[in-house]
């Protein structure tokens, strides 16, 4: 695969990334670590899950779910329903995550939501599923995020990134294309998400100033 300049991207930090520019990666790592709000959120969920990784009670599942939802804005409007769904699969889900089986992601694709006015609606929590699994097995499950999806689709809009096997391979290839293949998935998608989120905030601020 050809490496080097990715002229098709709209994100400035990837325009000239090369092996000699690893200092840029270090700068973004420093920026992330200095962003106390974001870092504290990551540290909190990481520490909590380390202490409650598998065999979780329904209450602990709900806590993990709510923290991830708050950090990533995954739009889980019925957290108790989803916590019940995760708890139902309990040991099976734990085993799948330990083995890095994509079936763990599929468990979240068919969640039935029932409320006093909304009965039996099935919802797909794909994006949340990748984040939940990633926090439980960070080296094996890259996190899917719409910011990353939109960025990758600038390169290939025909790729179905909602297929998790394809998404992982595309992300792996992308890491290699910008000389980041030595980074773990946990490091890379956190770093990439942080950059793209900042780019989006800067663009939104600029657009608002122009309007």
CA dist 166 and 196 (Å) reads: 21
* Selected residue with higher pLDDT from 6 and 130: 130
| Model pTM above 0.85 | no
Domain extents for the chain? 1-34+142-211, 36-136
Buried b (16+ CB within 10 A) or exposed e, 178-196: bbbeeeebbbbbbbbbbbb
Q: Please tell me which residue, 112 or 5, carries the higher pLDDT value.
A: 112
Classify residue 134 as exposed, middle or buried by CB count within 10 Å of its CB (0-12, 13-18, 19+).
buried
pLDDT in tens, 171-189: 888 888 777 788 888 888 7
pLDDT tens digit sequence for 68-108: 998 888 888 889 999 999 999 999 999 999 998 999 999 99
Beta bridge partner(s), residue 122: 112
């Amino acid at each position: 695969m050809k490496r080097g300049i990715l002229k098709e991207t709209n994100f400035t930090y990837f325009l000239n990334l090369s092996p000699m520019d690893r200092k840029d990666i270090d700068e973004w790592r420093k920026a992330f670590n200095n962003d106390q709000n974001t870092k504290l959120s990551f540290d909190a969920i990481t520490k909590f899950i380390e202490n409650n990784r598998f065999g979780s009670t329904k209450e602990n599942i709900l806590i993990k779910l709510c923290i991830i939802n708050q950090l990533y804005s995954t739009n889980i409007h019925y957290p108790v329903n989803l916590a019940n769904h995760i708890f139902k699969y309990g040991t099976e889900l734990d085993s799948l995550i330990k083995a890095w089986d994509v079936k763990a992601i599929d468990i979240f694709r068919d969640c039935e939501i029932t409320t006093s006015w909304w009965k039996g609606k099935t919802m797909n929590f794909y994006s949340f599923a990748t984040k939940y699994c990633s926090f439980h097995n960070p080296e094996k499950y890259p996190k899917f995020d719409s910011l990353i999806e939109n960025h990758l689709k600038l390169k290939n809009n025909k790729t179905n990134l909602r297929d998790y096997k394809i998404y992982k391979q595309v992300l792996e290839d992308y890491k290699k294309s910008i000389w980041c293949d030595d980074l773990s998935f946990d490091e890379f998608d956190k770093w990439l998400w942080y950059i793209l989120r900042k780019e989006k905030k800067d663009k939104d601020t600029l657009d608002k100033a122009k309007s």
